[in-house]
Amino acid sequence: MDTSTTARLLRFDSLLAAKSTGRFAGVDEAGRGPLAGPVVAAAVIFIRTNSLLGALQGLNDSKQLPARRREILFQAILKIALIGVGVVDEEQIDRLNIFQASRLAMKRAVLSLSRTPDVLLIDGNARIDLPLTQQTLVGGDGKSAVIAAASVVAKVYRDAWMRHLDELYPAYDFKNHKGYPTPRHLRMIQKIGPSPVHRKSFSPVRSFFVEKESR
């Protein structure tokens, strides 16, 4: 398996660690764009520093990985890292807006870690409301190994959540599109209306209620 991408991500973290002191946590989220379900964030601290290249073969931004590879990496990350997960549900997303909900999910992920990190490496450009040293990194899940690991954890966790929601609301096919606005998903919203786990503040869902009120 090609390990060049993994090596590049780990090298970035090593160079960053050489300029700083303390424990790093990578932070990323999954689920900003879907029309249904929660936004999920993960915080990851590597506790095993030797043989990371072998343990994390194929690591990359979770969006660039097939589902099976994400699952394999998720199991590997569990063995070499501390993990915290934060979840903000659709009702809170509607109340706060997705940007603030994502920040809250990341905050919850960090707070759920069993150890407090000294430095947060956060994917994107938004800091979170915690009194910790923070470095934001646009495109961080494609640059930093610990952020890429957080992106994998968040994605795998959220996908499992959406498969559960598919069992509760099978008409929407959540297990396949994970809440994203696919043509089938949009058709079902128009045909039978949103489910309780749809984000009512998001345009295609909100449009259903607007059209219903205008009839």
- Between helix 67-80 and helix 145-168 the angle, nearest 10°, is 120
User: 151, 168 in Cβ contact below 8 A?
Assistant: no
78's CB contacts (< 8 A; 6+ apart) are: none
Find the Cα–Cα–Cα–Cα dihedral 37, 62, 117, 110, rounded to 10°. 0
CA–CA separation, 52 and 120 (whole Å): 20
pLDDT above 60: residue 215: no
Domains along the sequence of the chain with CATH? 4-161 (3.30.420.10)
- pTM score, whole prediction: 0.94
H or E element at residue 28:
strand 24-30
Question: Which is it for strands 39-46 and 133-137: parallel, antiparallel or unpaired?
Answer: unpaired
pLDDT above 90: residue 70: yes
Task: Quickly state the pLDDT bin for 211 (edges 50, 70, 90).
Answer: low
For the stretch 117-131, pLDDT in tens is: 999 999 999 999 999
The DSSP code sequence of 179-213 is T---HHHHHHHHHH---TTB-TTSHHHHHHHHHHH
CA–CA separation, 35 and 68 (whole Å): 24
